[in-house]
Chain A
Amino acid sequence: MRTQAAAGYPPIRQRSGVPLLHRTGYGVMYLALIAVAVIQVLPLVWLLIFSLKNNQEVFNMAPFAIPAHPHWSNYENVWVNGNIGQYFLNSVWITAVALVLTVLLASFVTFAVTRMIWKGRSLVLGLFMVGLMIPVHSTLIPLFSMFLKLHLTDNPLSIILSYVAFNLPTTIMILLGFYYALPKEVEEAAIIDGCSVNRMFFKIVLPMTSSVLATTAIINMIYNWNEFIFVNTFISSDKYKTLTVGVQNFIGQYTTDWGAIGATLMISILPILLVFLIMSERIVEGIAAGSVKG
């Protein structure tokens, strides 16, 4: 659909012109893409560099100059003096417990809604799907007062329950498509062989959905690991704080020591970067699945 005038050009001129234009255009676009990539990582490179400096070096050297003798002691210092190890451990187990609960409960619900036969299943599914649109902040005040009455504030259970409830809708949404696509013959064969529904679910259906379970697990992991507002509101003692909130409070004590702050931040982001390095393919796939189907 080139213009009429272009169509009138002799074919040879057109052929020699177009590739050249393409090559420059391609080059410019490629540079732009690389520029965006640089912008995305440059702040992190700077963070790594200043985490290895002392204050004098941070303030007097060029921002991206690496000190001749990197102060690895910054890392040792914050790891030993702070509660980072404790926060880290809390993040790991709270993330894991909430993740396993969410994926298991979501699988139960999705199985019951898509494969079993009962009245009201579309209504129940609808209730879960409407949950996708509810902003967390609008529930924060009542949740706080409810947990206060139940003596669940400053208790990890309060944040685990909140994580599971708010992650159920997304997780079910991702699972739905896979459950609808499961062949009915498998169930029929299992029932003819005298298999109970529970046995079928645990021995046949869950293993068959293991790939999508991994995807949902990743989404849950990223969400739980980085969650801030629930922990910040419900948890007050250091022994239950997760990495996000713990780091925030820890940095408060080090307002002037840039090296210590840098090291703390690096420690808090390294685990997730490491996981990304190992499982980037799955994570990319998981994030895409978790959003598009909404």
Chain B
Amino acid sequence: MKKEENNSRPKLDTIILKTATNYLLPLLIMFSLFVLIRGHYLSGGGFVGGLIASIAFVLHSFAYNTKRTISLFRFRPLFLIPMGLSLSLFSGLLPLLISKPFMTSIWFLNKVDVIGAFGSALLFDLGVYLVVIGVVLTIIFTISENV
């Protein structure tokens, strides 16, 4: 292996993959959000949704490189973790405002189109979603940059 390749993966320089990724990335993220939202009624949820979104970014990093993928974010994926955790915690604390125990779900009475009923559980799931993306991307990107 040559010296300069020691610090980055050898390029998969396929134009097909690159072009496909450009379209697949938004699609996969939309799909992951879809999986996240429908989780309460059908198969899916924050964890799987987060994994799918991470796979989308990992695919992108394979097609281009890690640096370029990170530049898609405004901040390091690491920061998604505290964001997600605090969102989950916030959704758990919400019921305290209407003097119900910690982590009780509260729901809006009116159903929203497409999503269905909207409640704090969805917010919680969104937190999980963010944590999972943050964790997976942090681990994979760190390893790919440093190993």
A and B: partners?
no
